[in-house]
Structure 1
């Protein structure tokens, strides 16, 4: 399994323009065939998917970007990091890589980005997977709201935020976490620039960006692959999405919290591969 530094070394980069800003998107790219894009949430990065993509890349091309302001993508303090802006990034990345029709897999905030893109581009999304995704008015959760207070940059040190993130992951995973996972999730924020970018990402969470869309407009075949024990985005939200999206199915994985792909990696891979590659 790749370490975070090895993952970073294998990333490519694409230039995109969002809201008039010229930015760089770092992304991991593997396999050939019809493209599948994996979208992470807050406060994670593309390394979240390291245990998931292998079997998919055997049959399809997988593209795993770092969101703007996250991971190894542009992180400077002058652009919007909201779901709306990340959707614009996604559209620009798809155009830059000349991908055409894609399948999307989104977790947390990345699920909200996938929701918006699938609503606005129904003919351009083949299949859609949402895992413990933000939707409707189910977010932001209290932890992210507090992290997004402007004074966090001044009142907390980089080390204190690293400790907070470490504690959050350890407390919410169902088993002892993989130390490589913890390193990968924390490393991008381990600087003053990283801390500021994380706070800006938290500030940018805007419930309007999911309440203003109607999931009923999604036409892609949809799998709601959910950690059933999630306190952040409970499975009731997935049930509501299932009711609203035609041709949507729900699979809840027991003994899995918000970080479902870490809690139940084998089961998650199996369900995902069955849906995306048959």
Structure 2
């Protein structure tokens, strides 16, 4: 069994309702008491894993929760972790007929946390997952203890050309080998140094079926800059760490600097030798810095 197949095998499922649509969310859960009251039909235990809130990991496009494969285990040593596949991604619902924008993903996150009986969280997010996290933290400042953003979409920083091209109407009819070639370019050329074949294979896997191919196009066309330009960044109260791959050209570190100016309790920690896929490029350093932040005493 491959690494991504093992990850999928360990995922649980939960039902959510987004804009009146009943959808299924696949999520990876680990850490102390991760199974307490959290079967596939939802949970009854609030904030399992001691007094500390769970750490929720949000991925971007065109990834899925497997992005966090080398970060989650370190954090799960002493914290409950929850890493969902966004709707339209990974092993979550992919069929047509629902919105996949970051506005809708925020609704999904809120309903998933309610289903799991989780009130307060620490959010760790990358790419469009960062946009989801920013919206949630701005709309629910009392529910987010820590906010960790990595090469996140914000303001008018997105969509990038690669994603916009995936959302063109004729991409649905694209030959599968051509789609795979585009994804190879994104994950192989987007890695700092030699890309891990297990990472590349795992990232591509959800998109290589007919349903996955179509869903990826729907996800790409759902990118909407208005959903980050409308955020009141000054309302975010969470202690915020901008853990940014400093060599990224898709979401340059200049946007992290802008976030640091607008979010009250924030600081930038650049990670060198990292492009856009910073949780993969610098997974050990990423996990160490995240664990250090989470272990700091509350002030």
Same fold (TM over 0.5): yes
Q: Counterpart of 1:107? A: 126
2:282 to 259, 264, 270: 264
Unaligned runs of 5+ in 2: 33-48
**CA shift for structure 1 position 173:** 0.9
Q: Counterpart of 1:7? A: 7
Kindly report which structure 2 residues correspond to 1:82-231, keeping only aligned pairs within 5 A, or say none: 82-154=101-173, 156-231=174-249
Q: 2:226 & 2:102 partners in 1: Cα distance? A: 10
| TM-score, with length taken from structure 1 | 0.98
**CA shift for structure 1 position 277:** 2.5
Q: Counterpart of 2:65? A: 46
Show structure 1 runs of 4+ deviating over 3 A: none
CA RMSD of aligned residues (A): 1.1
How many residues align? The count is 277
**CA shift for structure 1 position 2:** 7.0
2:292 to 254, 274, 277: 274
Q: Does structure 2 retain, via aligned residues, the 8 Å contact 1:159–1:190?
A: no
Q: Deviations over 1:155-209 (max 9, x none)?
A: x122211111011211121111111111110000011111110000000000000
Q: Does structure 2 retain, via aligned residues, the 8 Å contact 1:226–1:235?
A: yes
Q: 1:198 & 1:2 partners in 2: Cα distance? A: 22
Q: 1:261 & 1:11 partners in 2: Cα distance? A: 20
Q: Does structure 2 retain, via aligned residues, the 8 Å contact 1:2–1:50?
A: no
| TM-score, with length taken from structure 2 | 0.91
Q: 2:10 & 2:72 partners in 1: Cα distance? A: 14
Q: Deviations over 1:97-142 (max 9, x none)?
A: 0011011001000000000000000001111000000000000001
Unaligned runs of 5+ in 1: none
